[in-house]
Amino acid sequence: MANFFLDNKDLQYHLEHPLMRKIVELKERNFADKERFDDAPQNFEDAMDSYRRVMTLTGELCADVIAPNAEGVDKEGPRVENDRVVYASGTVENMKAVNAAGLDGITLPRRFGGLNFPLTCFVMANEMVARADTGFENIWGLQDCAETLNEFASEEQKQKYLPMVCKGATCAMSLTEPDAGSDLGAAMLKATWSEEKQTWLLNGVKRFITNGDGDISLVLARTEEGTADARGLSMFVYDKNDGGMKVRRIESKLGIKGSPTCELIFTDAPAELVGDRRMGLIKYVMSLMNAARLGIGAQSVGLCEAAYRESLKYAHERRQFGVDIIKFPAISEMLSNMRARLRGARALLYETSRFVEIYKQYAHISHERSLEPEERAEMKRYNRLADAFTPLVKLMASEWANALAYDAVQIHGGSGYMKDYACERLYRDARVLNIYEGTSQMQVVAAINGVTKGTFMEQVSQYEVLEYSADMQPIVESLKALRARVEAMAERVETINKEYPQYKDFHARRLVESVGHIIITYLLAKQASEVEEYKSDAKLLAKQTEAYIASAEVYINSSEGSDVALFSEVQEQY
Amino acid sequence: MNKALKIVVLAKQVPDTRNVGRDAMTPEGSVNRAALPAIFNPEDLNALEVALRLKDECVGSTVHILTMGPLRAADIIRDAMFRGADGGYLLTDRKFAGSDTLATSYALSCALRQIGADLIVAGRQAIDGDTAQVGPQVAGWLGLPQVTYAEEIEQIKDSSLVIRRRLEHGIEVVESPLPAVITVCSTAAEVRPQNARLILKYKYAATRSELIGDNESLRAEMVAERDYLNIVEFSASDVECDESQLGQAGSPTKVKMVEDVVFQAKESKVLTASDADIEGLMVELMASHTLG
């Protein structure tokens, strides 16, 4: 029987990371649940055993149920009937299976019916689901909205909504509006307090809402009359059972067709305020979006895995000129680079997951007791790392997913352009990954401070002093030299930017991706020091990194402040 | 609200004969278990699902697995627990070795007398023997009504069940009093997946033999602490039975000879793509009523 966990040693490798010990300790609070819940672990080993078992179960469902349904779901897609979304039949089957398997509320506390698993496991499950069907990952992965409720909602709200999610209620993030996309601060959907009904009422339109007709929605709404920016927005939790929301239409999309993208109309829809007024976008939605960005990172890596495997299989089976096409250097080079990037993106994904997890766990603990000074310092450090790495992984993984999907079609040749092979669907599905939850351009805006303020390089310093095997030493040495060059590039950009504002904006992506390449190569070099199988990947990534940075360096060093004008010409041309 | 039922599912761990290789059979003509992966007999999974659905409907019901086999057959009991069964019984003893269907059904029925059940559900047949005899024979030994080829329980009444049977030429709906034996065919609902929470709850479930020499482990500790983790193990002496009816001694079936059968293609005909040849074929197929 096929299994997307057991057939993937790389994934298993990341589950066994040394930091898991710390993560499990934080998550399980000295295994305090073991007396109260019959599914709680007794110790670290027991917890790890549980994770492996549930990841195996997830891998089985992905391979046996979700993946075989993907093609049919892509063809059939969801539809709107009587103002409600009707999922494709394969999607319904998938939901039934994951629900029966209890794969809901994976990270939520046991007292609400959750599994209380680390974020790392949730990210892994996300990745496997995305490999099986990228669009279904949207629907299933949105259970992560409940984490935002777990962090910011009142106890009463948690008691009401979290058990629903643990029993399989689906979620949606109702944020975007026709005139508020990347600029969410411009959202206008109105929330007014009704004295008569003693509740908040939502009125307005939301657009491009993934799984918008989900059971529970987190809705960004304007509570402060007369405001027009982020400071007038609050976050609400809305239960579909309470009525007042209709699906006007769903979008006809290029890819992820199984995932309904809805236009919603709220008419006096009753909803509950989460946390404090005015903090909706600034605090809660930012946190929600960071979690979602990590989710897209997972979705991207899952798609990379599928693209690589489809291509590898095809290249071994397709014969031309009397040989399997994998024997042609042009094909094997593409595939080797695909594998290196797949594993590189995955390394960055789990590194980021661990940073986010440790920070979040400290934050949760800080609600239960006051943190010791060293714990507080650690929380701060991981918070900064999480903030910097999250946009980085979203950027790198989603861009590489597109590159891999592109190459997958290329390896399939003419057949890849037809609907006969999965790579065609992957190519379409990939295209949204670097757009939604913040375009790549927005990720660069979020990550550039990590470059100029030193967060990334502090972490790179940590990687520099780790132990590496002898054959990885040359790579580490070259990375040290590259780091110095990137620092010089950043300095040049900062200096020129003082005189020519926007200069930094034009080069930010080159800087962020340079740092991203360095970090990923370090992670792979470390893995290759432990496991033979990663050696080629590390070496190939090192070459890609060197080439990328050389090119970025030439571009930046030859770019004068006055070049800013070259890019502004088009601003006047329309 | 339906009354609580005590349900026992008869299940068998079988070699996966769906993927047989060269060494699938021993020279003596029995199945070479070592060469094939051991799996939950597919129709027994359908039977388990029928039982679990009854449990969902009738609050307070329990589902237990009864299986006869070597120690490792405890794996299918755990598998069933991960899907919603409450526990199980492993009937294991060298004295059961070499049992044919009659001796097997005898041993199972002795265990069932001891366990007691309102309803016994079994798969129609096992993929290693394809006899479809054990379920009906159990009903015979216990003097219970039997419903074979069951596909779905359509209605649950106070002391009877209305059951849909899938027969060769159609369906038949029958009502049977309880207790009864039902055998379930593969057209019945597919078994539900394992459940994450149940896996975590039951992962340490074990039989006493599995725990021998394992006093230090977490598993031993957990089984000692939590009664629901005990998979009951019965040897021949644990159930009331006539030992002469067990194992080879109690098995009238004897394998006389095993022959390798090589399927050979029947006569073949080569047609050209000419209209005449195609028309000739059409006429022939219509004459034999294969077409039209």
Say whether B193 and A54 touch across the interface (CB within 8 A): no
**B292 has a pLDDT exceeding 80:** no
Q: Do B193 and A46 touch (CB under 8 A)?
A: no
Q: Does B226 touch chain A (CB under 8 A)?
A: yes
What local confidence, expressed as pLDDT, does residue B264 receive?
74
Q: What are the distances in angstroms from CA B52 to CA A73, B56, B86, B190, B196?
A: 29, 6, 10, 11, 17
Q: Do A57 and B199 touch (CB under 8 A)?
A: yes
Mutation choice for B interface testing from A31, A38, A104 by most B CBs within 10 A: A38
Residue B250: φ, ψ to 5°: -90, 10
Task: Tell me if B261 is assigned to some domain.
Answer: no
At residue A476, the pLDDT reads: 98
CB contact under 8 A, B195 and A61: no
- Spell out which chain A residues touch chain B, with contact meaning CB-CB distance below 8 angstroms: 38-43, 45-46, 49-50, 53-54, 57, 60-61, 65, 97, 100-103, 115
Task: Give B114→chain A minimum CA distance, Å.
Answer: 29
In angstroms, what separates the C-alpha of A76 from chain B's closest C-alpha?
Answer: 24
Size of interface A-B (CB pairs under 8 A): 46
Average pLDDT, chain B: 91
First to last CA, chain A: 58
Residues of B in contact with A46 (CB under 8 A): 218
Residues in contact with A12: Cβ distance below 8 Å, sequence separation at least 6, in sequence order: A5, A6, A52
For residue B215, the model assigns a pLDDT of 78
Once rounded to an integer, what is the mean pLDDT over residues A35-56?
97
- Topology adopted by domain A446-572: Four Helix Bundle (Hemerythrin (Met), subunit A) (1.20.120)
Residue B263 has a pLDDT of: 73
**H or E element in which residue A197 lies:** none
Residue B229 lies in a domain: yes
Question: B6 — contact with chain A (CB < 8 Å)?
Answer: no
Which residue in A has a C-alpha nearest to residue B16's C-alpha? Answer: A1
Q: Is B199 close to A38, i.e. CB distance below 8 A?
A: no
The percent of residues above 90 in pLDDT, for chain B, comes to: 71
Kindly report, residue by residue over B171-206, the tens digit of the pLDDT: 999 999 999 999 999 999 999 999 999 999 999 999
Cβ-nearest to A46 among B195, B201, B218: B218
Give the number of other CB atoms < 10 A from CB of residue A248: 14
Closest-CA residue of B relative to A113 is B197
User: Cβ–Cβ of A97/B193 closer than 8 Å?
Assistant: yes
Rg (chain B; Cα; Å): 23
pLDDT at residue A328 is higher than 90: yes
Instruction: Classify B194 as helix, strand or coil.
Output: coil
Q: Note whether A54 contacts B195, CB cutoff 8 Å.
A: no
- Whether residue B256 lies inside any domain: the answer is no
Structure token digits, residue A533: 């199988």
A116-173 pLDDT per residue, tens = 999 999 999 999 999 999 999 999 999 999 999 999 999 999 999 999 999 999 999 9
Q: Which two tokens stand for residue A390?
A: 């999250």
Nearest CA in chain A to B222: A42
| Alpha carbon distance B174, B151 (integer Å) | 11
Residue B282 lies in a domain: no
How far does the CA of residue A152 sit from the closest CA of chain B (Å)? 26
Contact predicate A214/A84, CB 8 Å: no
Q: State whether ipTM is beyond 0.90.
A: yes
Tokens of B96: 């059961």
Domain range enclosing B44: 6-245
Q: Which residue of B has its CA nearest to A110?
A: B197
Average pLDDT for A167-186: 94
Each residue of A479-534: pLDDT tens digit? 999 999 999 999 999 999 999 999 999 999 999 999 999 999 999 999 999 999 99
Interchain proximity A50–B194, CB inside 8 Å: no
pLDDT (0 to 100) of residue B214: 83
Measured distance CA(B10)–CA(B120) in Å, rounded? 7
Could you give the angle at which helices A67-76 and A119-132 cross, rounded to 10 degrees?
Answer: 60
When CB atoms are compared, the residue of A38, A57, A103 closest to B201 is: A38
Sign, Cα dihedral of A219, A276, A356, A361: negative
Contact (Cβ atoms closer than 8 angstroms) between residue A57 and residue A98: no
Residue B109 scores a pLDDT above 80: yes
Question: Domain for residue B183, yes or no?
Answer: yes
Nearest to A115 among B192, B194, B196 (CB): B196
pLDDT at position A550 over 80: yes
Measured in angstroms, the CA of B241 and the nearest CA of chain A are apart by: 37
A57–B226 CB contact, under 8 Å:
no
CATH topology of domain A1-141: Butyryl-Coa Dehydrogenase, subunit A; domain 1 (1.10.540)
Q: Does B200 touch chain A (CB under 8 A)?
A: yes
What's the confidence (pLDDT) of residue A234? 97
Q: What is the dihedral of CA A244, A245, A249, A253, to 10 degrees?
A: 180
Closest by CA position to B135, among listed B118, B123, B150:
B123
Q: What is the pLDDT of residue A554?
A: 98
Is residue A408 within 8 A of residue A342, CB to CB? The reply is no
Using an 8 Å CB-CB cutoff, list chain A residues near B48: none
Domain A171-278 has CATH 3.90.180.10: no
How far off is chain B from A45, nearest CA to CA, in Å?
Answer: 10
Percent of chain A with pLDDT over 70: 100
Whether residue B201 lies within 8 A of chain A, CB to CB, comes out as yes
Q: Given an 8 Å threshold on Cβ–Cβ distance, is B196 in contact with A61?
A: no
Q: Look up the CATH number of domain A280-438.
A: 1.20.140.10
The partner residue sitting opposite A101, judged by closest CB among B195, B222, B226, is: B195
Q: Write down the residue that tokens 């399927």 correspond to.
A: B263
Residues 6+ apart with CB under 8 A from A338: A304, A307, A308, A311, A404, A407, A408
Mean pLDDT of B110-115: 96
Of the candidates A41, A54, A100, the beta carbon closest to that of B192 is on A100
pLDDT per position as a tens digit, A252-276: 999 999 999 999 999 999 999 999 9
State chain A's mean pLDDT as an integer.
96
Judge whether A259 and A139 are in contact, CB under 8 Å. yes
- pLDDT score of A17 more than 90: yes
Question: Cβ contact (<8 Å) for A57 and B201?
Answer: no
Token digits of residue A165: 């999610």
Phi, psi of A269 (to 5 degrees): -80, 120
Contact B201 A39 (CB under 8 A): yes
Which of A31, A57, A96, A115 to substitute to test the interface with B, most B CBs within 10 Å? A57
Domain residue limits, chain A: 1-141, 171-278, 280-438, 446-572
* Structure confidence at residue A186 as a pLDDT band (50, 70, 90): very high
Residue A348's pLDDT is what?
98
Nearest-by-Cβ selection for B199 from A46, A53, A100:
A53
Phi and psi at residue A24, to the nearest 5°:
-65, -40
pLDDT digits (tens, 9 = 90+) for A76-107: 999 999 999 999 999 999 999 999 999 999 99
Nearest to B193 among A39, A43, A61 (CB): A61
The answer, for B195 touching chain A at a CB cutoff of 8 Å, is yes
Mean pLDDT of B88-113: 95
Indicate the residue of A40, A43, A100 with minimum beta-carbon distance to B195.
A100
Where are the strands (E) in A325-363, listed by range? none
Out of B196, B218, B226, name the one closest to residue A57 (CB).
Answer: B196
Provide the CATH number for the domain around residue B135. Answer: 3.40.50.620
Q: How far apart are CA A482 and CA B6, in angstroms?
A: 70
A41 contact residues in B (CB cutoff 8 A): 200
pLDDT of residue A231: 94
Asked, for residue B281, whether it belongs to a domain, the answer is: no
Q: How many structural domains are present in chain B?
A: 1
CA dist., res. A293 & res. A302, Å (int) = 14
What's the sign of the alpha-carbon dihedral A399, A180, A204, A83? negative
Q: Measure the CA–CA gap between A383 and A387, rounded to whole angstroms.
A: 6
| Contact status, residue A393 vs residue A401, Cβ threshold 8 Å | no
Beta-strand pair A233-239/A216-222:
antiparallel
**pTM: predicted TM-score of the whole model, two decimal places:** 0.92
> Does the beta-carbon distance from B196 to A101 stay under 8 Å?
yes
**B67 domain residue, yes or no:** yes
Task: Name every chain B residue with its beta carbon within 8 A of the beta carbon of A65.
Answer: 193
Contact B196 A42 (CB under 8 A): no
Domain contains B32:
yes
Q: Does B193 touch chain A (CB under 8 A)?
A: yes
Q: What value, to the nearest 5°, has the Cα angle with vertex A79 and ends A247 and A94?
A: 110
pLDDT for residue B254: 84
Q: Which residue has the tokens 């339109």?
A: A205
CA geometry: angle B200, B195, B130, nearest 5 deg: 115
